[in-house]
């Protein structure tokens, strides 16, 4: 089992950095496949996330009788894209579900799913984009799935602003919008149509 460490944004950490960092993730891999992540906040273990193949039963992990357990089924869409089907259990009872889409291990989509009918919860949906200029964009949607807000940030410039759809022309470093707007204007589709065939 190979063990490594990252911060919460996914940046790799060396083991000698851990005493200076309070919040981190301990990552377990076997044969280059993700098996488990342990999350630490203020150097205290908070929870763990188990990773299994898409469609595999949760029964074996639930038999561990952990009070709280998170299970992620990984679906490989292409060599670069993965779709994570996330399940959270409390006392072996499913209490939340979500979907995450990643390209080259970077999150581009997150959506909570109703556990009663498996429908998308659009106002709990976010899409992400990072521009070449190091601006980060978070797109949030209303309950019908239409764009509600765009949050723009740039840590190096200490920049953080929230924009309504009517203010898109005011957003800095937004040259890429024309090319990708069809994906970001609405909560659906989860995966950009022109990428996964």
Please give the residue range of the domain that contains residue 131. Answer: 75-81+94-196
- When divided into structural domains, the chain yields a total of 1
- Of 18-22, 144-148, 158-162, where does the model show the most confidence? 144-148
The bridge status of strand 136-141 relative to strand 120-130 is: antiparallel
77: pLDDT strictly greater than 60: yes
Helix (H) or strand (E) holding 180: helix 177-184
Is the residue at 166 inside a domain? yes
The three-state secondary structure class of 167 is: helix
Rounded alpha-carbon distances, angstroms, from residue 9 to 24, 105, 177: 9, 11, 24
Is the residue at 133 inside a domain? yes
Is the residue at 11 inside a domain? no
Query: What's the whole-number mean pLDDT along residues 1-22?
Result: 90
pLDDT of residue 197: 36
Is the residue at 134 inside a domain? yes
| DSSP secondary structure of 92-140 | TEEEEEEEEEEETTEEEEEEEE-TTT--EEEEEEEEEEE-TTS-EEEEE
Sign of the four-CA dihedral 153, 157, 158, 159:
negative
Is the residue at 164 inside a domain? yes
pLDDT of residue 195: 54
Is the residue at 172 inside a domain? yes
- Phi and psi torsions of 166, nearest 5°: -75, -10
Check: pTM over 0.85? Answer yes or no. no
Nearest to 115 by CA among 73, 83, 140, 85: 85
Is the residue at 35 inside a domain? no
pLDDT of residue 194: 64
């Amino acid at each position: 089992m190979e063990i490594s460490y990252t911060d919460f944004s996914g940046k790799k950490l060396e083991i000698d950095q851990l005493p200076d960092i309070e919040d981190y993730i301990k990552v377990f891999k076997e044969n280059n496949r993700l098996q488990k992540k342990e999350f630490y906040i203020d150097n205290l273990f908070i929870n763990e996330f188990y990773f299994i193949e898409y469609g595999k039963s949760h029964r074996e992990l639930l038999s561990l009788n952990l009070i709280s357990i998170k299970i992620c089924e990984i679906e490989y869409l292409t060599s670069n894209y993965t779709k994570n089907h996330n399940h959270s259990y409390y006392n072996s009872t499913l209490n939340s579900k979500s979907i995450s889409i990643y390209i080259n291990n970077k999150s581009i989509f997150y959506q909570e799913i109703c556990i009663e009918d498996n429908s998308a919860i659009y106002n709990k949906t976010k899409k992400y984009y990072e521009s070449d200029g190091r601006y980060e964009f978070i797109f949030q949607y209303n309950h019908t799935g239409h764009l509600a807000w765009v949050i723009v940030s740039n840590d190096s410039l200490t920049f953080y602003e929230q924009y309504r759809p009517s203010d898109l022309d005011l957003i800095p470093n937004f040259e890429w919008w024309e090319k990708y707007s069809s994906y970001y204007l609405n909560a659906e589709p989860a995966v950009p149509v022109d990428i996964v065939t």
